[in-house]
Amino acid sequence: MSVPTPAYTTDAFFGLEDRWLPTAEGELTHYHDLGEGTPILFLHGSGTGVTAAANWWLNLPELSRHGRCIAIDSIGYGQTVVAGGTAYGIKEWVRHAVRVLDALGIDKTWIVGNSLGGWLAFQFAIDYPQRLLGIVSMGTGGATLTGALAAHSNPNLTEDGIRKTLEMFVVDTSLVTDELVSLRYQSALNDTASDRLADVVAARDRDRHALPLDFDVLARLDVPVLLIHGVQDVVIPVSRTWDLLNVIPHADAHIFSQCGHWSQVERASEFNEVVGSYLAHHADTER
């Protein structure tokens, strides 16, 4: 299967090299791969026009000092090419992540997940515990529907609509630049994504009710977990982190003040320091 002609490139704004990997019949996964050593799989959120690059461009270069950072466009998002009839949902997105690991020859990994990506990280822990080294999750998805989340269920597919969505993610709205909005809009409209948006959103919202995280299983999770949240997160309330913290035996939490749903962008430098230190500590512990 040939690599598609990109609808847009990530290097000009995000500074990340585009790669594609065959992961199933008719499926080419778009991803970024930086650093060496312990695998760290990055899973993005579910906002309109989201991609791996648009979630992690401020984090991958720094965190690649701590391991091999692999950031993927999940099926239904970005520039990942999917086969006809592809199903979407929490378990399907987790299985896609496993296919990526298999294609790269990776047995066990850390997962860093944002919003939907954090939800996927914990579902991965439930379904494939033997392949997990640990989790870092910020604004973990799968929580009760909020007004901001409801707005994501009926996205306004215009640059103005995307700007309003992104501005809900942050306290400092100056971070939502014209160039970032334009790139998210291009992503939402590109040929491999535009016909999938409704199916992806419907699958996410269906599984919020049909497949909530099994807290009984998470209560037996025996890998390190770091939960990160912004106090001013209006998309996923900080109570979501508190609920998980009370259940998961080896979980720690870091709460950012004056920060919304996008802590890896809004507090990027401190985020990288916190996550890098956590990964380094556990790398030392495992030696």
Q: Is 97 helix (H, G, I), strand (E, B) or coil?
A: helix
Tell me the C-alpha distance between 263 and 228, whole Å: 8
Q: Which residues contact 66 (CB under 8 A, 6 or more apart)?
A: 35, 37, 38, 40, 276, 279, 280, 283
Nearest by Cα to 186 from 35, 50, 76: 50
Q: Which residues contact 87 (CB under 8 A, 6 or more apart)?
A: 203
Q: Which residues contact 107 (CB under 8 A, 6 or more apart)?
A: 101, 131
Tell me the C-alpha distance between 239 and 154, whole Å: 24
Phi, psi at 70, each rounded to 5°: -120, 115
Among candidate residues 46, 233, 263, 282, the one labeled active-site is 233
Are the C-beta atoms of residues 251 and 38 closer than 8 Å to each other?
A: no
Tell me the C-alpha distance between 46 and 118, whole Å: 11
Among candidate residues 46, 64, 74, 115, the one labeled active-site is 115
Query: In the β-sheet with 27-34, what is the strand arrangement from edge to edge?
Result: 19-24, 27-34, 68-72, 39-43, 109-114, 132-138, 225-230, 251-256
Tell me the C-alpha distance between 146 and 144, whole Å: 6
Q: Is-catalytic flag, 222?
A: no
Residue 234, class by beta-carbon neighbours within 10 Å (0-12 exposed, 13-18 middle, 19+ buried)?
Answer: middle
Among candidate residues 30, 96, 254, 261, the one labeled active-site is 261
Q: Is-catalytic flag, 178?
A: no
Q: Is-catalytic flag, 216?
A: no
Phi, psi at 94, each rounded to 5°: -65, -45
Residues that are catalytic: 115, 233, 261
